Structure 1
Amino acid sequence: MAKYTSEEKLQAALRYLKGNESSVEIAESIGTDHTAILKWTKLYEHHGVEAFIKRYTNYTAQFKLDVLNYMIEHGTSSRETAAIFNIPTPSTLGSWKKQFETKGFDALQSKKKGRPSMKKETNKQIKQGPIEGSTEALQARIKQLEMENEYLKKLNALVQAKETSPKKIK
């Protein structure tokens, strides 16, 4: 399917609204599907000339939920709802609906795209020991002193064993 300028879309919608030609005739003359003519006409009816101005859109999760609620409450089709809210493609509403039904409201949140930035090492949290005077700190201190005591006992035993062993001189 070929891309059409906003002026071509506007002219096609106006030709259809005049009522002299059907959507099929207009579609054949410009080389598109008749559903595109109907979509462009709905967009023009709801938003006027501004409907054909291209813009980048990033919808909030609340907006997505409001659109889905509107579609359910008023019983509008996805094509008509997309025209009312000036959403470029009706299939977007289908994907929002599927995400919401399977994963809930959190699935409607916008996700960050692209590769994540590298984190600096200053962001890493330093493992903190227990607070001074707490029971965990006191237990850790007792454990440390017990290990020191065991070490000194073993060292003392080795020194005594060395002294009592017969000295070999050659």
Structure 2
Amino acid sequence: MMNRTPKVGHQPEGFMGKYTDQVKLAAVRDYCSGEAGLTTIAQRHNVDVSSLRQWIAGYRAHGEAGVAGKKREFYSVELKLAVLKRTRDEGLSHRQAAALFNIRRFNIICRWEQQYNQGGPEALSWGSRGRRRKMTKNAPIQNKARQADDARSRQELLDELCCLRMENAYLKNLKALVQARELSVRESERKSCLS
């Protein structure tokens, strides 16, 4: 039988759950020293690469406070809208937006986007599983919008579809450009982290 006792300051091998703040900070500082790459540092500290990447972003944006563990937080609709707006306006990745707003789990922003796209700003007040916490009075408004869509001509709908496809293609190209820029910025930030 394998001994699953963790080393001092480390989690057990294969552990993908919560890490101590000391482990997080040690891994981030090790990465910022510039001695090794992301994967090597993650293996050295027995942490998940994706988590390490997120801790580094939090550390760069907020210092040690950006790495410290947090209790489960509930975010206001206003904050969710601000995050989504800034992400869209500045072409930020979810990871970058999470670091800027000190949000522990960057993938929650994806969920907010899905909720917003499905139901608008009202949907952001829904519970974590997409269920409404309370009934809203906006259902008649949504039904009227659907009725308005039904009344539109086929050509109007095709024109809108064409516009949406062009917008989608534009956003895909923009995302590719932003990712290329992120790669070069990440490399320069890593060098600045050494200072």
TM-score of the pair, normalised by structure 2: 0.54
Residues 34 and 56 of structure 1: CA distance in aligned 2, closer, same or farther (over 3 Å)? closer
| Counterpart residue number, 1:77 | 93
TM-aligned CA deviation for residue 54 of structure 1: 1.5
What letter is aligned with 1:97?
E
Residue 57 (structure 1) aligned with residue 73 (structure 2): yes
| Counterpart residue number, 2:115 | 99
Summarize deviations over 1:62-112 as a string: whole Å, max 9, x none.
110010000001101001111111111111000000000111111111559
Count, aligned residues: 114
Q: Tell me the C-alpha RMSD between the 2 structures.
A: 2.1
TM-score of the pair, normalised by structure 1: 0.62
Q: Contact 2:20/2:69 (CA < 8 Å) preserved in 1?
A: no
Distance 1:28 1:82 in 2: 24
Distance 2:127 2:106 in 1: 20
1:4-153 correspondence to structure 2 within 5 Å: 4-51=19-66, 52-109=68-125, 111=127
Distance 2:38 2:18 in 1: 18
Distance 1:100 1:110 in 2: 10
Larger Rg: 1
What letter is aligned with 2:78?
Q
Distance 1:19 1:62 in 2: 38
Distance 1:111 1:37 in 2: 28
Summarize deviations over 1:96-146 as a string: whole Å, max 9, x none.
00000111111111559xxx9xxxxxxxxxxxxxxxxxxxxxxxxxxxxxx
Any runs of at least 4 consecutive aligned residues in structure 1 with deviations exceeding 4 A, and if so which? none
Distance 2:114 2:72 in 1: 23
User: Relative contact order (alpha carbons < 8 A, sep ≥ 6): 1 or 2 greater?
Assistant: 2
Distance 2:127 2:94 in 1: 23
Q: Contact 2:70/2:104 (CA < 8 Å) preserved in 1?
A: no
Residues 2 and 60 of structure 1: CA distance in aligned 2, closer, same or farther (over 3 Å)? closer
Gaps of 5+ in 1: 117-170
Name whichever of 71-80 and 53-62 sits farther off.
53-62
